[in-house]
Amino acid sequence: MDPTDFIGAGGACVLPHWGVLRASGEDSASFLHGQLTNDVVKLGEREARWAAFCSAQGRMSASFVVSKRAPDELWLAGPADVLAPALKRLSMFVLRAKTKLSDASAELAVVGLAGDAVAPALVAHDEAASPALSGDAAAWTQAPLLSGALVRLPEAEGRARWLWIGPAAAVQTLLSALPALPLALWRWLEVRSGVAPVLAATTGQFVPQMLNYELVGGVDFKKGCYPGQEIVARSHYLGKLKRRAFLLDTAVALEPGQEVYWSGDAQQPAGLVALSAPHPGGGWSALAELKLGVLESGTLHLGRPDGPALTVRPLPYALPGQDAAAPAA
């Protein structure tokens, strides 16, 4: 069966595993610009940013969809299980900056939208949302909707996806305009998009390029300094990356943080699961960081050298040096 058959017309679902941080105050943009991997100072109200918050060693501790809601206010949406430590660490760097950071998850909700039903329903509801809904809209395009922000995400399985961040009081209005989308299906599409957010199970494990962040709009190499910037830039300009993220399928359940082994070297893990979800047709899908060399021969296994077999699937975007999205295997 064609994987897109599982999606049908698509629809919307609340994402309870996501939350939102708020930065308010006249220095909010410049403060976040100095902390995240992407340009926030130039961020307009018609665009969003995908960005990581790194340690001094260049390892990602959190990742966010950054939305500018007013000249002095920005929202940072991301997995709920990393927001509290990210807020605590970001707050340590505020110093004299005129910005106030807070967890706004009780006030602001996050809704995932995907499929063919979304654009016509939302354009009919509010024409102002059309810039993010048009067929040629680029990923991270943003438009206003229901006092919130509608953000175009990278496609998955050939289907358009969006993230809505807005007042919790407006969620029911949004959901009533669209078919219900099963949360499990959204999470599978999230995996198949090839964009993995940082989770509690993976915090501190990856330099941005290990999860292909620079390929999906998550790193700006021309912006100024931020924690870990020197290491991230060195990997880009001077080093040859030896690890990348790839899509995997397997027959058994798997979780972020589980190790991946290669038949060519049973003594040490060859990678780490970054994101996973059950496949609607059976089995599980995952996005995992792997050593590039393991794709040239042998087999991959979950958890141990003789663990369940893992099959590499094509990414929805090409990696540098490859003519197609599929890895050389």
Of 250, 288, 15, the closest CA to residue 153 belongs to 15
The confidence band for 40, taking pLDDT boundaries of 50, 70 and 90, is very high
Q: 243 with 213: CB under 8 angstroms?
A: no
More confident residue, 3 or 282: 282
Domain covering 3-182, topology: Gyrase A; domain 2 (3.30.1360)
DSSP 148-191: EEEEEEEEETTEEEEEEEEEGGGHHHHHHTS-B--HHHHHHHHH
pLDDT at residue 277, rounded to an integer:
98
Tens of pLDDT along 120-162? 999 999 999 999 999 999 999 999 999 999 999 999 999 999 9
Answer yes or no: same fold for 3-182 and 208-313.
Answer: no
Domain covering 208-313, topology: Elongation Factor Tu (Ef-tu); domain 3 (2.40.30)
Mean pLDDT computed over 179-196: 97
How far is 186 from 192, CA to CA, in rounded Å?
10
Tens of pLDDT along 45-57? 899 999 999 999 9
Tens of pLDDT along 236-251? 777 678 899 999 999 9
Whole-number average pLDDT of the chain: 94
The Cα-based distances of 184 to 16, 123, 188, 271 in angstroms read 12, 26, 6, 25
pLDDT at residue 321, rounded to an integer:
72
Domain limits, the chain: 3-182, 208-313
Q: Is the pLDDT of residue 322 over 90?
A: no
Q: Is the pLDDT of residue 329 over 50?
A: no
Largest CA distance in the chain: 58
